[in-house]
């Protein structure tokens, strides 16, 4: 069964500092992996996705994530945090379209706070 | 503009009063699903639909019903809401094989 673990429910950084949000997954087949962002009072917006092509994936707003099969990880990074990055971030895994259910399994989320 | 819409965005109701939250997508997606989001629990899938007239339970289906009579619409029905269904609900649709889903803006439901 698939699962996602996000380490740290809350991460605080200073503006301009490195952002690192951790995600580990469990999947019985090669996974598709996603990071979503949720700004206050809004729905979820896709930041980036891994679909078995390049292991380093670049997304919107300067974020990127690296798929490491040996570590079963898909950590999200951004070199320099901006105040507008303050939001909740969700890592999710899917085993692909043809699997029964093919649900997105979400982690519990990490709230990112950015201070000036 | 490609989007998933939900109505209403906010709803306060009382225990036992039937309600429906509508969801519509304009991307011709076959797959649609409903999630609920609760603090500390992330998003959990309630029901999903692979296509018209094809629906199935997700992880937390108790107390909910869905229907898929048209490709674009996927309403969520609470026949007899209870306070433990107070939550933030998201509808989503998916196109293609990868699994990327597009989310609606959410419906905040309070059951008193």
A7 close contact with B: CB closer than 8 A: no
The reply to whether residue A42 touches residue B105, judged by beta carbons under 8 angstroms, is yes
What are the beta bridge partners of residue A67?
Answer: A74
Closest CA to A75 of A98, A59, A61: A59
pLDDT digits (tens, 9 = 90+) for B35-61: 999 988 889 999 999 889 999 998 899
For the stretch A81-111, pLDDT in tens is 999 999 999 999 886 555 444 678 899 999 9
Q: Quote the CA–CA distance of A57 and A35 in Å, as a whole number.
A: 11
Q: Which of A9, A31, A36, A44 has the highest number of chain B CBs within 10 A, making it the mutation to test binding with B?
A: A44
3-state helix vs strand vs coil in chain B, percent to 5? 5, 55, 45
Q: Of B109, B110, B111, B102, nearest to B24 (Cα)? A: B102
Per-residue pLDDT, A100:
45
Q: State the first-to-last Cα distance of chain B, in angstroms, to the nearest integer.
A: 36
Hey, what are B101's tokens? 């889903």
pLDDT at residue B40 in the model = 85
- State chain B's mean pLDDT as an integer: 93
pLDDT tens sequence across A67-76: 999 999 999 9
């Amino acid at each position: 069964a698939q699962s996602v673990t996000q380490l740290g429910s809350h991460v605080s950084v200073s503006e301009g500092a490195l952002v690192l949000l951790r995600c580990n997954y469990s999947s019985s087949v090669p996974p598709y992996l996603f990071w979503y962002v949720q700004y206050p009072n809004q729905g979820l917006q896709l930041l980036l996705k891994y679909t078995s092509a390049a292991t380093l994936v670049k997304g919107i707003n300067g974020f990127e994530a690296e798929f490491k099969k040996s570590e079963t990880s898909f950590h999200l990074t951004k070199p320099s945090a901006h105040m507008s990055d303050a939001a909740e971030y969700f890592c999710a895994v899917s085993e692909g379209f043809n699997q029964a259910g093919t649900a997105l399994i979400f982690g519990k989320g990490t709230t990112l706070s950015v201070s000036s | 503009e490609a989007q998933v819409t939900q109505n209403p965005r906010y709803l306060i109701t009382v225990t036992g009063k039937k309600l429906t939250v509508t969801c519509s997508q304009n991307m011709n997606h076959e797959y649609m699903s409903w999630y609920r989001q609760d603090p500390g629990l992330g998003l959990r899938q309630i029901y999903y639909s692979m296509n018209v007239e094809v629906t199935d339970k997700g992880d937390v289906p108790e107390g909910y019903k869905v229907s898929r009579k048209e490709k674009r619409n996927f309403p969520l029905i609470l026949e007899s809401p209870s306070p433990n269904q107070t939550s933030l609900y998201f509808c989503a649709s998916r196109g293609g094989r990868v699994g990327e889903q597009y989310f609606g803006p959410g419906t905040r439901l309070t059951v008193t």
